[in-house]
Amino acid sequence: MIIIMRADSGEQQIHAVEAKLKAMGMGAHVSRGIERTVIGAIGDERKIDMEALEVIPGVDNVVRVMKPYKIVSRDSHPENSIVNVKDVPIGGKQIQVIAGPCSVETQPQMDSAAASVAEAGCRLMRGGAFKPRTSPYAFQGTGVQGLEMFRQAADRHHLPIVTELMDVRMLDKFLKNEVDVIQIGTRNMANFDLLKEVGKVHKPVILKRGMSATISEWLMAAEYIAAGGNHNIIFCERGVRSFETYYRNMLDVTAIPVLKRETHLPVIVDPSHAGGKAWMVPALARAAVAAGADGLLVEMHPCPSEAWCDADQALSPQELATLMGELGAIAGALGREV
C-alpha cells in the first residue's frame, strides 16, 4: 500500500502518517519526489485501516498496491506521467526522437551531428562519452572530454543531451557538465547501487532493459530509482537476447503495450541496438511508434562508414530526415505528432 501526500504537505504531516503506520504494526518507506511525497507501507497490508490514514491532514490518496513495484505501478498513478526534459515533454501527445552518434569522437563530428539532429526536427540529442564494450580492447569512449564536446555541440542548437552513466563515481562529472538525461544501459539495469544513486539526483533517467531481463525485473529496477525520490523515469526497450543470430537483438514490441498497462511512466524504444543494422532501423522504428512508444533512441552519424563504434547500425543524416517524415505520418494516424 502507498500513501500519496498532497503537494503542499509538510514534514509534520509526513511524520504523522509514519506514526500511524507504526501504530498499525507497519514500517514506512518515504520517497520524496520533486512534486509529491509517497509513503510506502511495509508489512502485512491486511492490518491497515485505510480510512484511518485517509483522514490524516496532508494525505491525498491511499492506494492498495499488491505488486512489488509500487511507485512506478499504474495502480498508484492511473494517469500517464510526462517527464519533462527542460521544455521537451516525453510521454505526452508528442513523440520524441532522440538522435545522435553512438559515441562522442571529435568536436567537428559532434558539431556536424548536432546540426543534422536539429535539421531533421529532433528535439533531443544522444551520444556516448563512456562506452561499455564487450571487448576491453575496443574503443571505450572519450570520457569527460567527450562530455564537454557533446555539451558544446548540443548547446549551439538548444538540444538537451542524453548520455550513459556507467560508474557512480562519475555522477558528479555528469552534473557538472549539466547532462540533461542520464541513461542507464542494459548492462547496468541490475546495478542496484548505481540505481539508488541516480534516484537521489532528480534528473530524468532513461532505464534500458537488461538484455535478458523480464518485464517484472525491469519494473523493479525502476522502483529502485523511484524509491530514492526520483520519479522522472523513462523505460527504454532495446531488444533482448535470443537464439537468433541474423540480427543483433530481438526487439520486443509486445513490451510496449504491456508496460503501458503496468506503469504510468513513458516508454521509448531503441531500434538501433535491436536490429544492429542501419537498414533495419526504419522498420523497427515505425513498428515501435505504431505500438504506442512515446519516443525513439536512434543512432545517427554524419558519416556512418567512419564511425568509431557501431558503424553498421548508424543512420546517415538524410536517412534520419526521411525517417522523421515517415514517423510523422504514423503518429498522425494515431492522433499524435512527431
pTM attached to this predicted model = 0.85
Mean pLDDT throughout 46-60? 88
- The pLDDT assigned to 137 comes to 66
Mean pLDDT of all residues in 219-240: 95
User: Looking at residue 134, what is its pLDDT?
Assistant: 72
Closest of 52, 43, 61 to residue 5, by C-alpha: 61
pLDDT class for 40, splitting at 50, 70, 90?
A: confident
Which pLDDT tens digit goes with each residue over 131-143?
Answer: 776 777 677 778 8
Q: Output the pLDDT for position 43.
A: 81
Q: Which helix (H) or strand (E) holds 120?
A: helix 107-120
**What's the mean pLDDT when you consider all of the chain?**
92
pLDDT of residue 130: 85
Between 69 and 154, the higher pLDDT residue:
154
pLDDT tens readout for residues 301-320:
999 999 888 889 999 999 99
pLDDT at 264 over 90: yes
Residue 242 in contact with residue 250, Cβ under 8 Å?
yes
Residue 200: in which H helix or E strand, if any? none
pLDDT, residue 248, reads 87
What would the pLDDT profile of 180-217 be if each residue is shown by its tens digit?
999 999 999 999 999 999 999 989 999 999 999 999 99
CATH number of 83-333: 3.20.20.70
Domains in the chain: boundaries: 2-63, 83-333
> Residue holding cell 545517427?
300
Architecture of domain 2-63: 2-Layer Sandwich (3.30)
- The SS3 call for residue 184 is strand
- The conformation of residue 263, written as its DSSP 8-state character, comes to B
Check pLDDT > 80 for residue 174.
yes
Angstrom distances, CA of residue 14 to CA of 18, 23, 29, 48: 6, 14, 11, 17
